[in-house]
Chain A
Amino acid sequence: MSPYSGSMYHGSPLLLSILGPLTVKTIGGQPSHLLCSLVSVFADLISAILIRATGHSLVRAHGHNLKSLGLDKLFKDIEILPSGDIAALVYLWNPFTIVSCVGFNTSPIENLFVILSLYGASAGLIPLAAFGWVIASHLSLYPLVLIIPVIFLLGYGLDAPPRKLFMQSNSRVGEERPVDRVGLKSVTNKPLETKIFSWRPVILFFLWVSIWILYVLMLCAIAMKEHGGLWEMFKRTYGFILTVKDLSPNIGVLWYFFAEVFDFFRNFFLIVFHVNIIFMILPLAIRLNHRPCFLVFVYLAISSMLKSYPSVGDSALYLSLLVLFVNELAEMQFSFFLFCGYVGVSLLSPVMHNLWIWRGTGNANFYFATAMAYACFQIILVVESVSAMLNYDRKIRKLCNTAKG
């Protein structure tokens, strides 16, 4: 029977062929879903390790960049936190992660591939980055937008202050070279060369992407050979995501909107909401092109906020990525307010859901209100973190200017 006969399954046929047998298999009288949960726990562990590795390289790059700008002395009294370790811990101990494991959601697996692609790109492992990106976007469509930060990562390297500053400081260093020490010179000269967009890894990346896409499509075509082919697969996975057919309640805002909106406006609003995700890609890419990892965080946060069927697993991912920039975002506003908001919503939302669905004493609006509050908190989080990051860049520029002047 086709995996898509009936409206029960909308994921990838490959995922089904791996996870499907696991849901049936039992070990020694344990409930049958134990294996599935174990798979997601395992995926989460790997993701945490990869986040840690990415965080370490980010911290290294951070210190390196400061040094190259000659600001390391200014920041000496501020301790650089090991953001990778913190982020990995945050990912593992996040209640959202635990909840999505207990509920055997597929989001740990999707998260794993997103992080795999991020790690691959940051460590320069081009095939890994391509593989992660292809599988992640095959599984849930939205990671498609991550191609922009991945290209930046491969082209420009890891997060750094704006390139203009490096040019300025380089020119300054060039001027001061005769009086400078020799050791510093070798360090400062390097960034100037690496900051130029390098096309070779990007082209390699595209090559690998096409290889992986062909590979995945071939596997899917084999899996779907007797059930309507690839077109059926695209219709049932991506089509299902794009047309928001399932109106069962989730933590997003789209389900209630599309349950209530008038039918003749449906298509219009579908376009508007999806365009909302796409529209912000370009401005963000222009403004934050020097910080590709942060760009990954912003894209993931936006898509998990506006996607058709969001889950708390997505939030777990972007929250842990947020922690990767704990050094840069130290001066973020409303962080306590946001923390309280997240806690409040994650406590209230199950209560409202229970009241509405199980007890029948509540109303859909109660639950929808918590979903909206959650969306608002996410918006504030994204906006505040973006502006905090921009402010941080400004601060660095100012410090450079004062150092220069």
Chain B
Amino acid sequence: MSRFKSSFLLFLLLFSAYESIASEDIVQVSEEFTEALLLRPLPDRKVLAHFHFQSTAPPTRTYGRHHHLFPKSIYQLVHKFKVREMELSFTQGRWNYERWGGYDPISNSNAKPPGVELWADFDVPQHQVEDSWKNLTHALSGLFCASINFLEQSTSYSAPQWSFQSVSGKLRYGTLPREAVCTENLTPWLKLLPCRDKAGLSSLMDRPSIYRSYYHSQRLHLRSDEFDTSKTSTGIVLEQTLTVVLQPNTFSGKTSQLSWSLSSLFGRKVGGKCSLSNSSNVYVQFEQSLVSKVKELREKRESSKNEILMHEGFQNNPLFELSLPPKRIIKEVEKLTKEGSILYEFSVEDYDESEPFDLGLSWKVPVFWSCQQAPLRTSRFLLGSGNERGAIAISMKSTESNNVERSGRDDKECWLRVGIFQVVPWYVKVYYHTLEVFLDGEPQHTVDNVEKIHVSPSEDKVSPGVMEIVLRLPCSVSTAALTLEFDKGFLHIDEYPPDANQGFDIPSAVVRFNDFLTNISFDDNSLKRVPILSKLEENIPVLSYTEVLLVPLTTPDFSMPYNVITITCTIFALYFGSLLNALRRRVGEEERLLREKAAKKMGPLTLMLSKLSAKLRRKQWEPPKPSSSRKSVINKKLILKVLLVAGIAVAWQYYFQ
């Protein structure tokens, strides 16, 4: 018996081994998980930390439905709602485009508006998109412990026509500017990682130091081609990033820049990689202006000391010093005449608990540099005072960095195309015909400067107002502004949030420079296999988000609905009663006449009525007995009436059943 059992087990084992080998033969691709951390010193003594986690699941068709790395909840989400692409971001703080840059890939894909932003593109028939969106918001709301379900209401999301990449019309976009982001949103986000925050780079995420940061944005980007029928489908790619801007809290007197290390930034060290991840790298990026500073400095030193440096090492860097030797140095391909940025790569794989990875950077010389800016710096503000009307203004200032290359144009006809996508809640009733464009402070004909416009006006309590506009500005412009007038709506008391006097938020407008694409390209093709680097290599348009506007709305008195109801009803009663009284009032003479008439005419009838009532009372006490013929006639009439009413009641009841 035991022998049989063991042989059976052996058979099973063999069979399963065979199965796995066979499946590996067929599939070749399997689930992958990679983690990476990119650190970048920022000009204003802060440090940008950008965590990047990517999980991929091969298509269900070839791989099946069971995963050991890819989060099940996300997989089910994709399949249930047929999501083609989705991005969800939780952000606290505002990305400082002026100081932290607005042109490089990281700021363009990770600078997000405050609060929650969600957009999703569905692979369902057009009439099911709304339902899918609603269900998705509820699912995400449960998944991330956030009030994303408020995006379910049709007043809070919109369907952009061409401001986003998708042209299918199945994309929905919604933001919650006032959503407070905290650790209860981060924990479910970390749960999607195979190692959570127990091992690997994510173990750096010390909650107090992250939430103390100047800006943090956790993002979840999902792309699937599960529902495409083509052979080259790649399955589901889940990209999770956390972008934090931190201030190092160590002080060094000499330099303007603060030296930092991972342990001083996060208060933790990395004790080895997450064993489930394919690669686990840390990169330190130095921007091109900083790199050129280094070069400058080195040249100066060379000329003074007459010393020849063979290669750009990290040890003999005149500007800064890294505490650990990098695994390799990756240089960006130089564009035109400019320096490219430099990435120092460190691998966490060589470190473990006993010898934790703690990268440090110390500056040798004070240095000042600036980040590359987007062509125009946008800001948005409100005009006007009072609570009845106002105007939204979007101002764009040229950033003097117009030396950035512009694709495909000559000097004569140099146009700057700026796409603006703005969603306005319905209670801010924008008059789109009041759109005015100012160039360098001069009002312009709107038609000359607007290349394309799409407006869907807001509908009270149904849908928000959406404006998509592509402006065409001359390159030489230094300031451009756009104003729109609006009226403020009045809400029902239930529609006000608990703190109504704080005001209402208008979500950020998205300003997109479609002619400007940004990427960091590397000449080493082997780097394409590292997800974070291939992400940096992707061409993405330059875009920036404007500020969230706070619009104060007039509030009614919340404390006295009862008073209002009773007083108004009193007025109506006053109207009704007094008018009716005036109409039926008779003066003495008429009254007397009427009374005489009534005495003549109505005498017998009233008598009859009084008799009838008396009879009714008697009838209840005594059983009916034959009396005088007149009385019996009245009784019969009465019974007939009662029967009639009862019949009607029965018929009514019967009919409505």
Quick one: CB contact mask for B439-474 with A, threshold 8 Å, 1 for yes? 000000000000000001111110001000000000
Residues of A within 8 A of B560 (CB): 260, 365
B571/A375 in contact, CB under 8 A? yes
B426 at the interface (CB under 8 A from A): yes
A259 in contact (CB, < 8 A): yes
Chain B residues 565-584 with CB under 8 Å of chain A are 565, 567-568, 571-572, 574-576, 578-580, 582-584
B490 and A6 within 8 A (CB): no
For residue B615, give the distance in angstroms from its CB to the closest CB of chain A: 34
B491 at the interface (CB under 8 A from A): yes
With A5-B457, A6-B458, A7-B458 as known contacts, state yes or no: A284 contacts B564, CB within 8 Å.
no
B386 on the A face (CB < 8 A): yes
Check if B366 is an interface residue, CB within 8 A of chain A. no
The digit string for B378-409, where 1 denotes a CB below 8 A from any CB of A, is 00000001111000000000000000000000
Contact call A280/B576, Cβ cutoff below 8 A: yes
Interface magnitude class on chain A: 35 or more
CB contacts (< 8 Å) of B556 on chain A: these are 256, 259-260, 364
Known contacts: A248-B489, A259-B492, A287-B583. The answer to whether A358 contacts B564 by CB under 8 A is no
Main secondary structure of the interface of B (DSSP, over half): mixed
Residue A15 at the chain B interface, CB threshold 8 Å: no
Interface size on B, residues (CB 8 A): 45
* Chain A contact residues: helix, strand, loop or mixed: helix
Judge if B431 is at the interface, Cβ distance under 8 Å.
Answer: yes
Q: Are A262 and B561 in contact (CB under 8 A)?
A: yes
Any A CB within 8 A of the CB of B494: yes
B309 at the binding interface (Cβ < 8 Å): no
> Which residue of chain A lies nearest to B578 when distances are taken between CB atoms in the complex?
A383
Q: Across the two chains, which residue of chain A brings its CB closest to B564? A: A260
Asked if A257 and B568 make an inter-chain contact with CB atoms under 8 angstroms apart, the answer reads yes
Choose among B386, B456, B554, B574 the residue that contacts A5 (Cβ–Cβ < 8 A). B456
Contact check: which of A7, A248, A372, A390 meets B426 at CB < 8 Å? A7
A372, A376, A379 — most chain B CB neighbours (10 Å): A379
Bound complex: CA of A230 vs CA of B258, how far in Å?
A: 70
Q: A263 in the interface, Cβ–Cβ < 8 Å? A: yes
Q: Does B630 contact A (CB under 8 A)?
A: no
Cross-chain contact of B582 among A257, A260, A359, A390 (Cβ < 8 A) = A390
Contacts A247-B490, A365-B557, A387-B582 given; does A7 touch B575 at CB 8 Å: no
Given contacts A256-B564, A364-B556, contact A358 B579 (CB under 8 A): no
Which residue of chain B has the shortest Cβ distance to A265 in the bound complex?
B565
Q: How far is the CA of A353 from the CA of B572 in the complex (A)?
A: 23
A179 at the interface (CB under 8 A from B): no
By CB atoms of chain B within 10 A, which of A7, A249, A273, A398 has the most? A7
Q: 19 A-B contacts, Cβ less than 8 Å apart? A: A8-B429, A8-B457, A245-B460, A245-B461, A248-B489, A249-B490, A256-B556, A256-B568, A260-B556, A260-B565, A262-B561, A263-B494, A305-B575, A357-B387, A364-B556, A372-B571, A383-B579, A387-B585, A394-B587
Q: Which B residues lie at the A interface, using CB under 8 A?
A: 385-388, 426, 429, 431, 456-461, 465, 489-494, 554-557, 560-561, 564-565, 567-568, 571-572, 574-576, 578-580, 582-585, 587, 589-590
Give chain A's interface residues, CB within 8 Å of chain B.
Answer: 5-8, 245-249, 253, 255-263, 272-273, 276, 279-280, 283-284, 287, 305-306, 356-360, 363-365, 368, 372, 375-376, 379, 382-383, 386-387, 390, 394, 398
